[in-house]
Structure 1
Amino acid sequence: MARAQTAFLSRSDVPDRAALQKAIDALKLKLVLDDGYVPFESSGYLPCTLDGEDAGFTIRFGDVDTGTKSAALAEALGGRDVAVDFKWSGDVREQVSAMGVCAALAGSFGAVVHDPDKDVILDAAKLHARAKAGLEEL
């Protein structure tokens, strides 16, 4: 069963790989992004290494479509104009990888992260806690 969430950022705040990796390292999740991560160009499966083993998730960059968002999300977006979609399977390593990257985006780059299934906004602390909880399952 696929899982998904979207991180919304201002175009000027979308980090390059080095900056994003630095923010991920600060979370102490032992997560390393593949060198193939390129803002606005990466599309499809993005491999990662989680605690020395293969992991990853699907990533897609796009423009924000405010017409299909809930009122609460539309208000929270402010001027954010980039949507970064994350999808992963039921594999815990994929989930931890996606949660870790989203936690870094929310905590260090001002992203608003939205869970479309529950229509809730997830802050950096909650995303980090979910990533750490997933690590405990491994």
Structure 2
Amino acid sequence: MARALTAFVKKDDVPSRKALQGALDPLGFRIVLDEDYKPFKTKGYVPVALDGEDAGFDLRFDEPAAEIRAKLGLADGAVALAIRWGGDPREELAALAVLAALAQSFGAAVAPPGAEAVLSVEDLLVMARKAAQAF
């Protein structure tokens, strides 16, 4: 699997750090999002604590291209949260848990680059649980 997925969220639904943490907690992955996360301002590495250990992923906010909006059936005004991670299983879990929280609690459509369809919340949770088994 590519180490990148994009969450497309309505601009007004992009969560604050507190709201995103509130959506992460019930998933049970023991992930704490760093206080430096700021919607629309964060650009680059987002540190998280995963069961007390350092982990994180790269996050970029962008406007999705018109053809992507059309292909995935996204509403006008959607924001793209492009998330990439490295080969460390903790990074993968952190990214997938955040993506699952965005999909489940904020209505994000999550898709890999070039995809014709979005992943379901259950798909994302299965992927996160699989990543959690690696350590």
The TM-score with structure 2 as length reference comes to 0.92
Q: Which runs of 5+ in 1 are unaligned?
A: none
Deviations 1:75-106 (A, max 9, x none): 2x133520000011111111100000000000
- The 5 Å alignment of 1:64-103 reads 64-67=64-67, 69=68, 72-73=71-72, 75=73, 77-103=74-100
Q: Does 1:62 align with 2:39?
A: no
Q: Are 1:34 and 2:42 matched, yes or no?
A: no
Q: Distance in 2 between matches of 1:25 and 1:39?
A: 19
Q: Please name the residue that 2:46 is paired with.
A: 46
Partner of 2:17: 17
Write the distance in 2 (CA, Å) between the matches of 1:92 and 1:11.
30
- Residue identity over aligned pairs, in percent, reads 45
Q: CA deviation at 1:2?
A: 6.6
The count of residues paired between Structure 1 and Structure 2 equals 135
Alpha carbons of structure 1 residues 41 and 70: separation in structure 2 relative to 1, 3 Å: closer
Q: 1:7 to 1:80 in 2, by over 3 A?
A: farther
Aligned to 2:132: 135
**Residue type at the aligned position of 2:8:** F
TM-score, normalising length: structure 1: 0.90
Residues 21-75 of structure 1: CA deviation (Å, up to 9, x unaligned) = 00000111101101000000000001101111110000010112123x28542x2
Measured at CA, do residues 108 and 70 of structure 1 come closer, stay the same or move farther in structure 2, by a change above 3 Å?
closer
Note closer, same or farther for the CA distance 1:51–1:117 as it changes in structure 2 (3 Å cut): farther
Cα RMSD for the two superposed structures:
1.8
Kept in 1: contact 2:10–2:75 (CA 8 A): no
**2:69–2:76 CA contact under 8 A, matched in 1:** no
Q: Distance in 2 between matches of 1:62 and 1:12?
A: 14
Give 4+ residue runs of structure 1 displaced > 3 Å after superposition: 117-120
Please, which runs of 5 or more residues in structure 2 have no aligned partner?
none
**1:3 matched to which residue of 2?**
3
Following superposition, the deviation at residue 137 of structure 1 comes to 1.0
